[in-house]
Every structure is written in C-alpha cells, then in structure tokens.
Chain A
Amino acid sequence: MALTNKISIAVKVELFGTPRLAAGRRELELVLPAETSRQEFAAALAEACPALVGKVIRDDLSGLQEGYVLNLNGLAFLNGDVLHVQDGDAVLILSNQAGG
C-alpha cells in the first residue's frame, strides 16, 4: 500500500453488523495520512483485515461497498471524499440501512 507523504496518524476502526461478523473482531487500528481519501482508507483497511474485501470493501479497493457509511467518533457522518480524521479518532463502519 502506498500512502502519501503526509503526517501519519493512528485511528481506531470500529466494526458493526456484517463487517464485525466478516472480520471476526470488533475493532482494529489503522495508521493513515491525516487527510485520508476514501480509497486510501479502504486500501489500508483491506491490508489490515483482508476478510473485509468483497463483503465490505470493493474488490478493487476503491472504497467501501455501497451499503456502508462511515461515522466519526459516534457523532458526525463522514460523507466527503476526504476523511478529516485526527490521531486517536474512532472511525465507525456502519450499514447505511438505518433503523428498521
């Protein structure tokens, strides 16, 4: 995986629902550039947890499958192309199918 020459930060990735079942774990740590694109995030996640590829991460590692959204620290949803995350943040991977 080729990360750009930006400052690297450590974030916790929390998995919910299908991602948790697929990964067999509730969370993992990633080291990312501070200004991370969705593609960079997906690639780093795939490297840390290959079991998510296909089910949660697109096969070409270009991003997450369409059924998922990202949330920052349980508060804001990350909808932009660039993920503005900081060292120590938690990035939640959730289904986009809210409620029920």
Chain B
Amino acid sequence: MYGYHGKALVVDLSSRSHHWDAIPEQVLRSFIGGIGLGTYLLYRYCPAGADPLGPDNPLIFAGSPLVGSRLTTSSKFAVMTKSPLTGFIGDSLSSSFLATELKKTCGDALIIVGRAESLTLLFIEDGVPRFLDAADLMGLGTFDTEQAVKEMLGGPRIRVASIGPAGEHLVRYASIANDGGRQAGRCGPGAVMGSKNLKALALHGSQTVDVANPVATHEYGIDLSKRSLGAATEKYRELGTMANVSVFNRLGTLPTRNFRESTFEGAEQVSGEHLHQEHLAKNATCANCTIGCEKILVTSDDGKKSQGRMEYESLFALGPLCGVDDPNTVIRAAGICDDLGMDTISAGVTIAWAMECFDKGLITADDTGGIDLRFGNGQALLDTLELIGHRRDLGSLLAEGTKIAAQQLGGGSGDWAMNVKGLEMPGYEPRSLKTMALGLAVTPRGACHNRSSAYEADFSGRVDRLTVDDSRGLIAAESEDFTAVLDSLIWCKFLRKAFNDFYQESAQVYTMITGLEMSPDELKRAGERINNLKKLFNIREGWRRQDDTLPPRVLQEKLPTGVVAGVGLTQEELDYMIAGYYQARGWNEDGSVPDTKLADLGLLDLLPVSSGVTISA
C-alpha cells in the first residue's frame, strides 16, 4: 500500500492498553483522509449518545495520504470528536510537523478512548504508548507545557500537542495547541482532551510510507509550489487574512459589537494594513508550506510585551466584535487565548455576548467581580479571558459557550447568543452575505466559515449577496463538498485558486501518491459522501430540522450602518434557501437523508449507518 498505512492506533487511557485496527482500502478510497477519514472513524468509534466529556467519546487525530509527500501545504491533520459545544460532530484542522510525526508513529490515525485516572502525558514512540505522570504540568500554559515535555522526553524532534488551563478546566471551546502554538481550535477538542485527563500527547516515530510515483509527485510539487507563489495567493502572503478587516468593513460584513452592526468605526486601527505597518515582527509559515500567510505581530505600547500569530478570525472576534480598537489589546488577547488553549472565535463571541448582557443589566459588576464589562473596554476583555480559562467567577458561566450560558442566564439572552448548533459564529455577517448565511445555518459542525466556503459566491459577484434566490442551495452544497475534499486530502484553503482544475489535479495527485485510480468525479463524490456521513452522525446524535438555523438576532434585526443599512434576513428567506439546499443534496424535505442516497453513495456498504431516525420538525 502506498500513501497509507492501512491501520490506526487505538489507545485506551482507562486500561492503559493499545491495539491496531485495520482500515480497509475501500474505506481509505472512500473517505480519503483528514476530515473525511476522521468522520468515518468518529462514526465507527463514538457510541451513539456518548457524553462529549465522558470516557466513551473518542479523540481522533487523522492524517492524510498527502502528509509526508512534501507537497506544499500538505502537513496537516484533523482532530475529530463529538463536540462538547454542540453535541454534534466536532472537527478541527491544524498545520504543523505534528502531522508528519503522527503518520510516522500512529499509522493513518490515532484514536484515544477512555479516561486516565490522573493527569497524564501520553508518549507514543513508533506505535508504542507510554503513560507518564503529568502532575508537574498541571496548570501550565500551552507554551510552557510543550517546552517542559520536550525537555522531559529529550529533544526537539519530539512533536507535542497539549492543552492549557482551559482544557484542564473543561472550557467547552478549549483548543489543542501543537508544535509551537498552533491550534486545533474549533468545537472544543481541548475540553475532550481535558476530560480524559490527558495534558499532553508527544509523538516520535520512524515509520514512513512510500509514494507510488515519487518522480511524478516531485515534479508536480515543484510546479504547484511555483504557482503557490503567484497572484493566486498574494493576499495571504502579503497581509494574511488580516486583510479582511478593512474590506469587510467597507462592504458592511464585519461583525461588530456582538453582531449589532456590520461596520466598525475603529476598523482602521485594527486593519491588516495598519497592523502590517506598525506591529509586524516577522512572517512565518506552516510546516512544508510555500505560501507563508502567518503574520507574527508584536505589541508596541509600554505594557507587557506580547508577540504571536494573528489572523482575521482572532482579530474580528477579539477586536470589533467586542468593540475594541486597540491593536495592542487584540494582540495580547490572542496571545492569552493561545496560552490558555482556547478558541479565539468562541472566546471573543462569548465575551461579546456577555458585554451585551452587561449593557442590558443581566450581568452586573457584582457578577464580574468589579470588571466594567462594557463594549470597547480592552482591559475587561483581557481580564475576562483569564477568568474563563481558569473557570473563575463569571468565567465559569462563560466557559460554557454562548448556547449553554444563555440557557443558564435566561432573560432573553439567547436572542443575542451568536451561535449555530452551539458553535460560535465566525466573522462573516450573514445578513449581508446571503449565500454564506445558508452555509452557516446548515453546515454540520455549526457556524463555520471553513467547512462551508459559500462566501466565495457572495464576494465574487457570482450572486447578489444582499438578496436570496434559488441558486444558493446548490452553491452551498457544492462549496461544502469542495471543502470536504480539500480538508481530506488535506490541502490548505489558501491554495485553492492556484489549481488550474482542482478536482482533476487532486485526483491525479491522489493516484500519484497512493497508486489507486481516482477520477475527478469519484473525488467529488467522496466530498458528497463525507458531508452525508457528517449529517448522519448528527442525526444519530439528535439533530432536528430546527437546528439548521441562525441566531434570532440575524433573523429579527436589520443592519443599521454602512452600505448595507436596512438589509436583513427573514426566517422565510432562510427557510427558502434551506429547502433549496436539501433539494440540491437529494435529501428529504425535513432534512433527513433517504436510504436511496445512502445506497447511492455506497455508505450502506461501508458502515452500519442508518437514516432510520425519526426527525421531528
């Protein structure tokens, strides 16, 4: 077998045992790797109804056939689990050398089940796990944890994934940090890791996999790397995703003050252009990447110096969404999140929700311990992040995320709890990006800009982004399938415009590496299959039609400012688009998946899947 090992390492923390499970070639072809393979493994290894923070919920690290090929941007892995934020499928991607070490150590995937009796460091060397006491690491931030683990185990070649205090305290949007501060951030995998008493995972291995056609792969890699340095990625190389701030502000799509507005008067101060000129310390790259979108920023004021990665989602969530226009504060806030091990999007959105509760008197200074939690108060933002990461005082409520926190607080605060299915909204205003609105509503992991790239249509002029029509369902479905393939091979999204023909090239690359014949249509079908299985997982875990929706604010309030002033989105418009999406997917009107579709995609042959779940409208 080329490109794959054909097996996954299963480690049980409860019994301190391990074994290898075979992954049939047909499964690998059908689900590719990364998010796709991870979805298959999650469906197979997660018992129906498992408590996301219980020992039965597996924590899965999935590699891909491209890992180790040295093709640009391919050193990525997926983390899959049942999300403690949503109760549905939880997936996250990260780019780092941990991906290559994972493949050299654990086969095609690592599946961690059970729960350790005490805080543990799991060290896996060439497939053999050791369960080490991690009591000395308790309470350490992610950066110190990684450093300590490397010192303990002896060397820089060991790759580490760890949680910070947020994961230890089961903050529902805790991330898994790896390889120098990179984050598998969304959906709360760090909380699942914390629930297993697993402070850190260290990997070291030597099991390489041959590529079927190394000459062709090498030549293709050179060509693709050249293209990755051209116009198709210029934005990412020059300013990174931070460039979005000033553009989104001008177009009225920059969520501001908890999605009350979509333009921010302080946008210029936190714009990519300003940060580039005043705060850029250096550019950086992911493992095996030629694009180099990472911008390492540094504070410039007299306060405690902070330096770290910055990208648009952290910037919007910790800046405009909280009304904060001080770049030094946003840089510090992102650094705090990375060290505590928390998703910056969920952290920022949850604090913005709390700021609005404070504004409306539902949360008072007594609740905050004296913190003046007004929109725009940067110090309050920083202080509240620390409270959340350690679950102190008000932080314990906010550590639950907006969905659960609003249920606990009441007072109508669910109306401005900006999440879908429990996952906090990314920085795309749905009222002025109608195709994206649909994508956010229906994507299985909740409000997500990465699993649905429907915004491409809105930002290209392919559709009128301010109105609704019957084309959006197909666009959203196709964008999800495209993204599923991208995330399963795994390519970086920022490479997407560098392909001449994405499916054609990707199918050829798959064959070059694995030796398995793959056509563009077959690859496209794999994307569809993966998204259908994600949906089946959610249905199994209790998904209902009303879970495919958007927060009440989006459906009840019109945007008040900018070029989109007066623009809204009604429930009827959203339902119309959702119906079109279900139709484009070949699903039933209630969003369930018919058996004919499962059979058509071959899912009935691959898994004991079932669509026989009653879905109430």
Chain A interface (Cβ within 8 Å of chain B)?
A: 14, 16-18, 20-21, 65-67, 69, 71, 73-79, 92, 94-100
Contact = CB atoms under 8 A, between A and B. Distances in A.
Main secondary structure of the interface of B (DSSP, over half): helix
Contacts of A96: 460, 497
Contacts of B494: 97, 100
A4 to B, nearest CB: 26
B311 A97 contact: no
B251 A65 contact: no
A73 B565 CA distance: 13
A71 B464 CA distance: 12
A98 B563 CA distance: 19
Nearest to A66: B231
Nearest to A99: B455
A16 B233 contact: no
Nearest to B251: A74
B241 interface: yes
A99 to B, nearest CB: 5
A21 B251 contact: no
A86 B611 CA distance: 56
B428 A65 contact: no
Contact of B238 (A14, A18, A76): A18
Contacts of A16: 243, 246-247, 250, 273
B236 A99 contact: no
Contact of B234 (A14, A92, A97): A97
Given A18-B238, A18-B239, A74-B563, A97 B232 contact: yes
Contact of B311 (A20, A21, A66, A100): A100
Contact of A17 (B232, B247, B277, B428): B247
Nearest to B241: A100
A18 B247 CA distance: 12
Closest 4 CB pairs of A and B: A77-B461, A100-B241, A98-B459, A67-B231
Nearest to A75: B563
Contacts of A74: 250-252, 562-563
Contacts of B449: 99
B461 A21 contact: no
Which of A16, A66, A69, A78 counts the most B-chain CB atoms under 10 A from its CB? A16
Contacts of A14: 250
Given A16-B273, A21-B238, 12 more contacts: A16-B246, A17-B235, A17-B239, A20-B246, A69-B460, A74-B251, A92-B250, A95-B247, A98-B459, A98-B460, A99-B244, A100-B312
Contacts of A98: 455-456, 458-460
Interface in B473-518: 493-494, 497
Contacts of B252: 74
A88 B583 CA distance: 44
Contacts of A20: 246, 273
Nearest to A97: B235
B236 A67 contact: no
Given A92-B250, A99-B244, A21 B563 contact: no
A75 to B, nearest CB: 6
Interface string B280-314: 00000000000000000000000000000001110
A32 B464 CA distance: 26
A77 B460 contact: yes
B247 A21 contact: no
Nearest to A76: B461
B255 interface: no
